[in-house]
Amino acid sequence: MADNTRNGRRVAKNAVYMFFRMMIVMLVGLYTSRVVLNTLGVNDYGTYNVVGGVVVLFSFLRQAMTNATYRYLTYALGEGDTDKLRNTFVMAINAHWIIAGMILLLTETVGLWLLNNKLVFPDGRLFAANVAYQFSMLSFCMGVMQTPYNSVIIAHERMSFFAVTGIWEVMLKLLLVYLLVALPGDNLINYSWLLAAVSLFMLCWYWIYCRKHFTECSYFRFWDGRLMCSMLRYSGWSVLVNATDIGVTQCMVFFFNTFFGVVANAALGIANNVNNLLTQFLQNFTQAYSPQIFKTYAKRDMPYFHKLLCSTSKLSYYLLFAVSVPVMMNIDFILRIWFGMVPEDTGLFVILVVLFSLVDAYSQPHWIAVYATGKLRIHQIMMSGIKILNIPLAYLLLELEFGAWTALALKAGLNIVCAIVRSIYMKYLVRLSMSMLLKDVLCPVSLVTVLTLPLPLYLCRIMEDGWFKLLATSSLFTVALLVVVPLWGLNGKERDILAEGIRGKLKLIGKG
């Protein structure tokens, strides 16, 4: 029990570090994204999203090995086996060099052909698109090589480093924006090579930190075929869902480009940008608790494991719900203030993309638990089978001349189906009681959603867009959330932890 309490406090401490990181990243991101859009223009902004989408199309290889690297490093760290940890890290480096080579091969063959023969760009922008493509590919490959170092830091739960580094990275991108405005030449090309320079700097920084602080991060000539085969078997099933996710996302980009042009791609890019900033809350919280899910399962402490899944699932939803609802209620006004002029339907795109992410917020601890077990086959087949339906059905909707928003609504709807199927499967995979899931997660989440929305939505309907509406709806929603979540959204143990955390903060303030 004492260990579980310490683990809970560690999760809370890590979440605080990531919260402050997120706040600064989000505020700077709000500013830089507007300047980038205004500097590049709608057409070049849309072009960069299409170009980057071609590179990301092949990122399923990276994501699959990322999952394997993180799991094997976390298990070796939990077992306290230094030699195994060192060997696992070296094999992860070897694997990511191979992946980077494969991505280079695919992007310089299939990707280039797709870029120059199938995608639509404004007149005279094909050369700039090709140059941006090459720099985007280099940025991505450097991100691949950074992945083992990220995994080591997360496995050691060094979230303070992530917090500081995230702030420095976003400041570099802020400097990039000023350089973009000042530099002569083609803005799209300048933006691409500046982002590549930031990626190179971040790779070097992570390498230096890990070499200094973690003994396992010294590379030496080593090859373990059995370990590599084990990691590949684990990552093999990850490839299935990761490839499906990326394929669906990039097919949406290509469909929008084919049916509606780069302006629609710009609207989708803005929607994804807004959503990415909102989900920083969720991603930071995820990095705080995911090591505990892996380590708790490795110890086979199943009662605490089940409680951890329920609590993190619920809290993940509340976090994203809290930051996204005020934005969705005032999305048109926020977009005008943030970006100025935006393409038509951007606000609707944002709402649909955020709804998709709200479902993911609830589900994320569950799929992390699946990866912790290592039993991926059935889960990956079910999820990929449902998600792949997005591609033919979205194409059919657009071919029948339905609006672009219907493809995003379809994607959100199928994600709800995935969440339902995954919840049922957790009963068979980790013996998570459906009654426990219903009582401790689904009922509180539904109650919080139903009780907090009516009054803010009523205000949203009767008030005109503006600062007063933003302040009124956000304040009313926040007050409702602060009342409803402690009363009906948390169980007794979670309320005690929350109260203890608040008392601790008040004591620190009083001493200060």
- Tens of pLDDT, residue by residue over 269-326, are 778 777 776 666 666 667 667 777 877 887 788 888 898 888 888 888 888 898 889 8
Confidence of residue 415 (pLDDT cuts 50, 70, 90): very high
Burial 389-427 (b: 16+ CB within 10 A, else e): ebbebbbebbeeeeebeebbbbbbebbeebbeebbebbe
Query: Whose CA is closest to 411, among 381, 392, 387, 395?
Result: 387
- Range with the lowest mean pLDDT among 31-40, 98-107, 184-193? 31-40
Based on the domain organization, do 435 and 478 belong to the same domain? Answer: no
Tally the domains of the chain: 2
pLDDT higher than threshold 70 for residue 1:
no
Same domain, 483 and 340: no
**Which one is predicted more confidently, 202 or 119?**
202
Cα distance between residue 198 and residue 62, in whole Å? 20
Which long-range contacts does 431-434 make (Cβ < 8 Å, 24+ apart)?
431/302, 431/306, 432/306, 432/309, 433/306
Residues 372 and 462 in one domain: no
Query: Both 307 and 365 in a single domain?
Result: yes
Model pLDDT, residue 397 = 92
Confidence (pLDDT) at 25: 65
pTM higher than 0.85: no
Give residue 22's domain range.
2-452
pLDDT of residue 148: 87
Pick the last residue of a domain from 452, 483, 501.
452
Q: Above 60 in pLDDT, residue 204?
A: yes
Domain boundary among 426, 452, 478: 452
How far apart are alpha carbons 151 and 147 in whole angstroms?
6
- Write the pLDDT tens digit of every residue in 385-401: 999 999 999 999 999 98
99, 204: one domain? yes
Same domain, 145 and 291: yes
Same structural domain for residues 9 and 19? yes
Please compute the mean of the pLDDT values over residues 23-37 and round it to a whole number.
Answer: 67
pLDDT-derived band of residue 512, with 50, 70 and 90 as boundaries? very low
- CA-based nearest residue to 416, from 393, 386, 391: 386
Residues 367 and 500 both lie in one domain: no
Q: Are 171 and 28 in contact (CB under 8 A)?
A: yes
Sequence-separated (6 or more) residues with CB below 8 Å from residue 134: 192
